[in-house]
Amino acid sequence: MNFPNSNAVLRALNQFRIEIPSWGFANTGTRFGKFIQPAAATTTEEKFSDAGQVHLLTGVCPTVALHVLWDFPNGIASTGEVQEFSQRYGVRAGSINPNLFQDQEYKFGSFGNPDPSVRRRAFEHTRDSIQIARQVHSRDISLWFADGSNYPGTANIRQRKKWFEEILKASHAELSGGQRLLIEYKPFEPAFYHTDIADWGMALHFARHAGPQAKVLVDTGHHYAAQNIEQIVAWLLSGQMLGGFHFNDRRYADDDLTLGSIDPYQIFRIFHEILLYESETGTPADIAYMIDQSHNLKGKIEAMIQTVTMAQELYSKAALVDYPALIRAQENCDLVRAESLLQDAFATDVRPAIREWRLLKGLPADPMEAFRQSGYLDRISKERAARNSQSISSYA
């Protein structure tokens, strides 16, 4: 390593972990249909197997996010099977994601549905998801809602806010001592007139109303173009309300692109705000770093490895910022010096240091090349091709 403060990179790599999503290994699509991949996972076990491969090669993905409807087909009865997969493939159950958007009952919303029986069912599903999380020793229950409306005058916005407050508070009451609710937001889609949790301020309001174990989850794709996401991160950090991330990248909004494929400097700036907070407070930020991506064109495992290694690279770059010097420059309004400290760190090639760290940990120096040489993709393509060929592209 031939740059100053290289030990900061090694320390950063030692502490960095990122969760990968089970749904990122399955066939997915858009509202126009699916593009089937022969190697896509068709069962929960296959998802665990693929996630295990990513962790085996990168060493920083010990948990896999799970979707209740897709990964626990028999509800809480499936938890024993999931724990067996965890032991077999070397990755633990991570965040548990209730599904409050797919069933036909949720056409007009879940927590915000005018029908009290649908709201009750949505709460019961959330309560069951919390119990599932407890059974598989998962801390975080991650909540995303498609609730909203598409036409003016068709929904009572204030009433829906009240229903959300009530059910989120009731859900919080179901948590055990070590669990958390992570409340996600999204400005639009599929609700194009109003979305019940449309931005970080609304998510923050609901989290505070729900209780002390509720935090905000930031999906980096869920913002309007040019929105200052790192400012949102800084504000949530200042109130100790930042619970986690869903990392991806986007050209327009929520494109589910591999991390850093469009704007790596933005992700660097987000990591910078977190590490600056930790430097100033002397306290590690209790943040769940998670990936939320579904790739239709790239190979699913390759895309996941690509995102994980990019996340390591950008986090390592942020760790190179000279924070004492930055704080002095900020206090003296030395604008050029302050900005240059960020730009210099971002411009540093940390890849040799990351390769060295991997070798010290007994990991492949190049995870992508190791995966391509492993034969794993050829094997699963042959094993799964017949099942995937039976999948029919459909309009959503």
pLDDT (0 to 100) of residue 157? 98
Positions of E strands within the chain: 20-21, 29-30, 33-34, 63-67, 92-97, 140-143, 148-149, 180-184, 194-195, 214-219, 242-247, 288-291
User: 6-389 domain in CATH 3.20.20.150?
Assistant: yes
pLDDT (0 to 100) of residue 393? 42
% of the chain at pLDDT higher than 90: 92
Q: Give 396's pLDDT tier (boundaries 50, 70, 90).
A: very low
Mean pLDDT over all residues of the chain? 95
* 293 has pLDDT over 80: yes
Candidates 12, 17, 3; CA nearest to 319 is 12
When mean pLDDT is compared across 4-13, 45-54, 127-136, 305-314, the lowest value belongs to 4-13
* 166 has pLDDT over 50: yes
Q: Give 34's pLDDT tier (boundaries 50, 70, 90).
A: confident
Spatial contact of 9 and 357, defined as CB atoms under 8 Å apart: yes
- Cis, peptide link before residue 190, omega less than 30° from 0: yes
Report pTM.
0.96
Q: Give 3's pLDDT tier (boundaries 50, 70, 90).
A: low
Neighbours of 240 (CB within 10 A): 14
pLDDT in tens, 234-268: 999 999 999 999 999 999 988 899 999 999 999 99
Neighbours of 7 (CB within 10 A): 11
